[in-house]
Structure 1
Amino acid sequence: MIRTSALRETPTLVGKSVCLVPLGPEHTDAYFAAGLDEEVRRLKGAHGHLTYEQARQWCESRAGRSDRLDLAILAPGDGRYLGELSVYAVSPENETAGYRIALSAIEFTGRGLGKEATQLVLEYAFDRIGLHRVWLYVYAFNMRAIAVYRSCGFHVEGRLRDSLLWEGRRHDALLMAVLRGGYERS
């Protein structure tokens, strides 16, 4: 049985290079700015971007939810916003949930930040929430992310053919998942 109360606890998870804190109104400016980055939007498959008001409303509405967990990824030393992640589509009956992560700028990729954040959140998802399975979708062209997910214990389970049309080209998305006991601890 999963503990949905662990979704409302607003955890702070601290690693060597990242600190995960509840996404809130104080992150609105950085969250909005990240959505303007063309490469970040391509990796997410987001054709448009939120208005500032939509970003503000999103960040303000994250607290106290029992159906998902939204965390900001910060640099532990100076609190610089590095991105955000979510455990969402939680199914208590099946002990499963979806996962997504977005670093806020390409300059943060290739430094192990996404891997560390993913390991921290998987540990929380399995050990504190009590999930059995965490799944995600990643576009097949995002080889760096696929490698990170594999290193965290995710396995490809399927392919959604031609699921993204970006600048006239179609791209597949991969369904990946990791089971409790199959993830790599930080």
Structure 2
Amino acid sequence: MPVSSSFSEKPTLVGEKVLLRPVRPEEDLPMLRAVLDDPDVLRYTSDSYTPEPPVWDGARERRVVDWYTTRNEQTDRLDLIVVDRATGRGVGEIVLNEWDEPNRACNLRIALGPDGRDRGLGTEAVRLLTDHAIRAIGLNRVSLSVYAFNGRGQRAYEKAGFKVEGVRRQVLRYGDAWVDDIDMAVLAEDWG
């Protein structure tokens, strides 16, 4: 299977419950701001303890606008918006990043706001993008990590076909507790 030379193609992927599409900055920024401020998103995706969402000052607003306005230009990553097909509204983002071209591998991450949770949207989004990574791009390995206190996320990744490969102990200081990070991956040879 030929391997794509980059992530420059920004596809629209359609599932039963979700549609994954390229970022539309003007349309998506209000939803993305809400997702980035969501306490669960902060807890499950931050690499440091953040009890309160960061303040939306002018500098943060510019960074976020600049970031999302350039997502479709990137050739070394694929950022897509997760759209709930039942409502037609964006509920989060899903990303293939940390591309290791020689080893045909990348990382996957997802962040869903409250409107995208507990209905299988995340599981389907992860399956769709993983299938695209393996079948269309020709990757051999897609990996991710999930904090041990994110049981919902770990179950969704397992349902999507990811397997636990190991645990990195005490990687996050969360308040007064240490939290482990669970490494998971799916390989092309395992993908049905």
Q: TM-score, normalised by structure 2?
A: 0.88
Contact 2:76-2:99 within 8 A present in 1 as well: yes
More displaced stretch, 29-38 vs 46-55: 46-55
Picking from 155, 177, 180, the partner of 2:185 is 177
Q: Distance in 1 between matches of 2:134 and 2:116?
A: 26
Q: Distance in 1 between matches of 2:17 and 2:44?
A: 22
- Structure 1 or 2: more helix by fraction: 2
Where does residue 144 of structure 2 map in the other structure? 136
Q: Distance in 2 between matches of 1:80 and 1:120?
A: 18
Shift of 1:151: 1.5
Shift of 1:61: 1.0
Cα deviation 1:47-93 (Å, max 9, x = unaligned)? 35472222211110101211000000012254311110100011110
Picking from 81, 91, 97, the partner of 1:88 is 97
1:8 aligns with 2:5: no
Q: Distance in 2 between matches of 1:149 and 1:78?
A: 24
Task: Report the CA distance shift for 1:118/1:75 in structure 2 as closer, same or farther (over 3 A).
Answer: same
Unaligned 5+ segments in structure 2 are: none
Picking from 57, 77, 80, the partner of 1:68 is 77
More displaced stretch, 44-53 vs 157-166: 44-53
1:153 aligns with 2:161: yes
Picking from 157, 163, 167, the partner of 2:175 is 167
Shift of 1:24: 3.3
Where does residue 134 of structure 2 map in the other structure? 126
Q: Distance in 2 between matches of 1:71 and 1:152?
A: 18
Q: Distance in 1 between matches of 2:149 and 2:5?
A: 34
What's the C-alpha RMSD, in Å, of the aligned pairs?
1.7
Shift of 1:173: 0.4
Contact 1:3-1:130 within 8 A present in 2 as well: yes
For 2:74, the aligned partner's letter is R
Task: Report the CA distance shift for 1:183/1:140 in structure 2 as closer, same or farther (over 3 A).
Answer: farther
Q: Distance in 2 between matches of 1:68 and 1:159?
A: 25
Contact 1:10-1:64 within 8 A present in 2 as well: no
Q: Tell me the percent identity.
A: 36
For 1:155, the aligned partner's letter is K
Contact 1:62-1:70 within 8 A present in 2 as well: yes
For 1:35, the aligned partner's letter is L
More displaced stretch, 28-37 vs 92-101: 28-37
Shift of 1:130: 0.4
Where does residue 32 of structure 1 map in the other structure? 33
Shift of 1:44: 1.2
Contact 2:84-2:116 within 8 A present in 1 as well: no
